[in-house]
Amino acid sequence: MILLYYLYYLIFEFAFGQTIGKMITKTKVIDAKTQEKPSLSSVLIRTLARLIPIDFLSYFISSNGIHDRLSKTAVKKI
């Protein structure tokens, strides 16, 4: 099940730029620098960074999580 959880994020964010939750909230993952679709390596880093146990706490400090900063991605309202 854990593998499926990470595959879900990897596949959806790379293929569509969105997970189901992002589709509902009308947001999309983008490359922070180019404002375009992120590369596979960026999405992979973003997905693996979700393994960091304190990732969710980073939202108390800034609007972007650790997984966004490490992968150089952002979430944009569409």
Contact at 8 Å (CB) between 22 and 75? yes
d(CA 67, CA 45) in angstroms, rounded, equals 7
59 pLDDT more than 80 = no
Report the 10 Å Cβ neighbour count for 15.
Answer: 10
Q: What is the mean pLDDT of the chain?
A: 92
- Please name the residues in contact with 47: beta carbons below 8 A apart, sequence gap of 6 or more: 6, 9, 10, 13, 67
What's this model's pTM, rounded to 2 decimal places?
A: 0.85
**Model confidence pLDDT, tens digit, residues 39-53:** 999 999 999 998 888
**Model confidence pLDDT, tens digit, residues 8-24:** 999 999 999 999 999 99
> How many helices (H) and strands (E) would you count in the chain?
4, 2
6 pLDDT more than 80 = yes
